[in-house]
Structure formats: C-alpha cells, structure tokens
Amino acid sequence: AGTVEFLYVEKEQKFYFLEMNTRIQVEHPVTEMITGLDIVKEQIRIAAGEKLGYRQRDIVFRGHAIECRITAEDPYNDFQPSFGTVTLCRFPGGPGVRVDSHLYSGYCVPSFYDPLLAKVIAWGRDRPEALARMQRALQELRIEGIATTQPFHQALLANAFFQRGEYSTHFIQRRMGGGLRRPEGERAREVVHV
C-alpha cells in the first residue's frame, strides 16, 4: 500500500507521475480539506484488515486548499537551520483553517531532526478565498524565539504571479529574486540585539 503523487497540467489536460511512497503524504491535509475524508482514519482501518469506508465514486472535490509547511529554517539566510527554544507559540484559527503541529511555547527545536514545526492549511470555495484565508492565518501565526519560513510563505502568497497561478519549479529564482532579503529595520534590530 502507498500513496502515488501526480502533477496535473490543466492546459494540456495531462497527468505527470511525481512519486510513490509507502506512507501517507505530508500534504494529505489538503486532500482531506477538499474531500471531507479522514485519510489517517482510513489508513488505520485498512491496517486493521477492514475495507475502505467509501468508494471512488463517493469522493467529491469541493473548493480549493493550500498548505504552508512552516519549518525551523531561516529564509533570510539561504534557509539555514534554526534551532533553539520557542519563546512564544500561537496558532491561527477561523473558518477553513487547520493547523497540524507538535509545537508549544517552551519547545526546544533540536538541530538534528526534521525542521517541520507546523502545517498550516487553508480551505476556500475557490483559490482566491483559500489564498486570502492562508494570508490571514499566516498573519495570525506567532512563533518566536527561532527563525521560521513564515515570512517566506507570506512573500510567496503576496506575489502577483503566484496569486494568478503562474509558477514553476524556477519560481523562486525567476519571480522572487532567488529568495528573501531581510528588511532593513530587522537588520538594525539584529545589530542592536547582538
């Protein structure tokens, strides 16, 4: 058993194989948000020898969902690892917003494990609504004490090309100048802090 990942190019109406994994995908909450299914529950049912609780024809896609993986990496420093103690952790909420995380205030982020801190997922009736909800969720998200990829996701979501759905594997280099530049005000605070 496993999950198979494809990329669908709407203009061409073609599917392209990406990968097959013998585990649940990290992105499974996106599928759960647009189908209403609990994929983890179904995985446990199958492992217990039960049958799936639905048929393929029962699955209906509703709306649009997007996931931002917030990691302990510094987007202003070539995504170098960031470890230390989380001094404040506050997650967003509201309609269509889901957060999967193990993080809490006081958590010590180690330097030798997967840097994933939280998956923030936003659902909307369409792409613009899902993007707006994600932008709001990222504004509400508070993780302090370490650097995270939160500002990178915010810059990505604010990018006009991304908002129009015009992106590729070269997007960061071509549309975001290769990455983020730390705002001058933040540089000054860092120098004073040191």
For the chain, 194 residues long, give each residue's pLDDT as a single digit of tens.
678 888 888 889 999 999 898 888 888 999 999 999 999 999 899 889 999 888 999 999 999 999 999 999 999 999 999 999 999 999 999 999 999 999 999 999 998 888 999 999 999 999 999 999 999 999 999 999 999 999 999 999 999 999 999 888 888 888 888 778 887 766 544 444 44
Dig out the tokens for 100 from the structure.
Answer: 């999967």
52 and 68 inside one domain:
no
122 and 161 inside one domain:
yes
- Domain end (from 37, 62, 87): 62
53 and 130 inside one domain:
no
* Predicted local distance difference test score (pLDDT) of residue 167: 86
Catalytic residue numbers, as ranges: 23
Residue type, 171: F
Q: How far apart are the first and last CA of the chain?
A: 52
168 and 118 inside one domain:
yes
Give the residue ranges of DSSP H helices in 25-175: 28-35, 39-47, 127-140, 150-158, 160-163, 171-175
- Domain end (from 62, 78, 105): 62
Total domains present in the chain: 2
37 and 10 inside one domain:
yes
- Domain end (from 62, 83, 104): 62
71 and 57 inside one domain:
no
Within 8 A by CB and 6+ apart from 194, the residues are none
How far CA 139 is from CA of 45, 154, 155, in Å, comes to 37, 8, 11
* Predicted local distance difference test score (pLDDT) of residue 84: 96
39 and 55 inside one domain:
yes
* Predicted local distance difference test score (pLDDT) of residue 123: 98
* Predicted local distance difference test score (pLDDT) of residue 52: 87
- Residue 105: domain span: 64-194
Q: Taking the model in full, what pTM does it have? A: 0.85
CA distance 53 to 185: 54
68 and 47 inside one domain:
no
115 and 153 inside one domain:
yes
